Amino acid sequence: MSNFLTNQYVVTFAVFGMFATLAWFVLERLAAGKSRAAVRLDEIRNPSRKRSDASDSLMKKQDAMSRVLEATSPAIAKTMQPKSEEEQGKLKSRLCYAGFRGENAMAGFLGIKVISLGVGILLGGGGGLLASGGTVSQKALVIGIFTAFVFMTLPDLVLSLMIRKRQKAVFLSLPDVLDLMVVCVEAGLGLDQAMRRVAEELRTTYPVICEELDLCNFHLQMGRARTEVLHELGARTGVSDLKSLAGILIQADKFGSSIAQALRVQSDAMRTRRSQLAEEKAAKTAVKLIFPLVIFIFPGIFVVLVGPAAIKMTREMFDAMN
């Protein structure tokens, strides 16, 4: 009797936690309204229009939530804090590759992982108990552990996708950025002014690389050495082409060679590599089409071609038997 009551309490708390988590996400979605970025964009489009009281309350609410998250993230993240400095450096580099360079970026990411793990435990535990009929069984434990593991690894997967998307955007934008930079340098601008001009002109088309150039310009205005700024530009994104570009610019600045010629050569090399990658992907298309052909198209062709003959043979066999 006591075991039954214990299982009943466990099921009750698990189901309550699962539905409370789902309700919290739904209510948060419904009550979000306009995001903070959308409100700021509306202010930029219409500077004369003042924000309404609802927008003000929404901004205050989001600011309060942001402060609470920033304050609680370090405490939550201590449970998953990397033990060695090497692991911490790798995690900071990954976050920097994805564009998160704040002081609390690592603590916030680890806090999200802990929260995601808790949500996975609640959802997996409740779903496992419901699937096993309300009893704590091996099936319920397996479902709960698997769901918790999936939810815990989900932030890492999202971060990897963001890194890949950001690096791809940087790689595809480099040839055009370098072409415009060559034009600016040949027109008489220095390297610092050329980077500032490129960031202003291509901000809408290539926002990622322009953000990096803006950060370089800010560091240069603060008085940092150009060699250090260019080196950090290559290491901050993790893109090999940008690292080689930074190395070439450092060498050209150190030895006094033509920066325009170095940029032109690097632009041609990057454009050639981009076309080679496109040709490589096109060559792989035939191999990748084998699996859809075998799984989806060949069975249909087989039914269309062999089906009438099979039906005719079956009828002739039945006629011969009769």
Residue whose entry in the numeric block shows the structure tokens 């789902």:
22
Tally of residues, the chain: 322
Residue 76 reports pLDDT greater than 60: no
- The pair of three-digit structure tokens given for residue 128, joined into one six-digit string: 């496992």
> Range with the lowest mean pLDDT among 13-17, 199-203, 265-269, 292-296?
13-17
| Banded pLDDT at 78 (limits 50, 70, 90) | low
Q: Are 273 and 175 in contact (CB under 8 A)?
A: no
Judge whether 108 and 69 are in contact, CB under 8 Å. Answer: yes
- Residue 32: pLDDT over 70: no
**Cα 141 from Cα 147, distance rounded (Å):** 10
Whether residue 156 sits in one domain with residue 14:
yes
Question: Considering 106, 135, 166, which residue would you say is the last residue of a domain?
Answer: 166
Least confident segment among 24-33, 161-170, 293-302, 313-322:
24-33
- For residue 317, being part of any structural domain is answered with no
Structure tokens at 124: 């997996």
Q: Are residues 178 and 268 in the same domain?
A: yes
Q: What is the per-residue pLDDT for 49?
A: 47
- pLDDT above 70 covers a percentage of the chain that reads 72
Do residues 235 and 176 share a domain? yes
Q: What angle do CA 50, 56, 61 make, to 5 degrees?
A: 160
Read off the pLDDT band of 225 (50, 70, 90): confident
Give me the mean pLDDT over the 279-288 stretch. Answer: 86
Residue 60 vs residues 43, 53, 55: alpha-carbon distances, Å: 16, 11, 9
10 and 44 inside one domain: yes
Q: Is the pTM of this model over 0.85?
A: no
pLDDT given for residue 43 in this prediction:
59
Is 207 inside a domain boundary?
yes
Give me the domain span that covers residue 19: 2-166
For residue 266, give the CATH number of its domain: 1.20.81
Examine the domain organization and report whether 23 and 152 are in the same domain: yes
pLDDT at 65 (0 to 100): 45
Same domain for 157 and 254, yes or no, is no
In a domain, 314, yes or no: no
How many independent structural domains does the chain possess? 2
18 and 141 inside one domain? yes
What three-state secondary structure class fits 178?
Answer: helix
